[in-house]
Amino acid sequence: MLPASRRSCHLKPERALSKNLKGEITIVQIVVRNNNVEQALKALKKKMQREGTFREMKRRNHFEKPSEKRARQKAEAIRRARKLARKRAQREGLLPKRGGGPR
């Protein structure tokens, strides 16, 4: 939670530095409206989740052997390739589009 002096000021945006997958530093900016810090934290967590910051922090928590790193990167590449192929097949009409159905 933020200190009281920062919570009362709703005009200043909250900022967090994060690194993207390429190692470049990006600035994540969240605006706190009407002193609603909980909503701003929720938005910040969602952005960090989308960028993979939490996964990166968890991965850097312990040393990763070079062989494990190669295996992880290979698995990620395979996952990306499968996702791309699935999206391409959906676009071409070979597979039905996911979601959109009634719940």
Indicate the pTM of the whole model: 0.53
pLDDT tens across 49-73, in order? 988 888 888 888 999 999 999 999 9
- Token duo for residue 1: 């939670």
37, 18 contact by CB (below 8 A):
no
pLDDT of residue 30: 84
pLDDT of residue 59: 87
Q: Give the residue-averaged pLDDT of 35-46.
A: 91
**89 vs 27: which has the higher pLDDT:** 89
With tokens 């719940």, the residue in question is 103
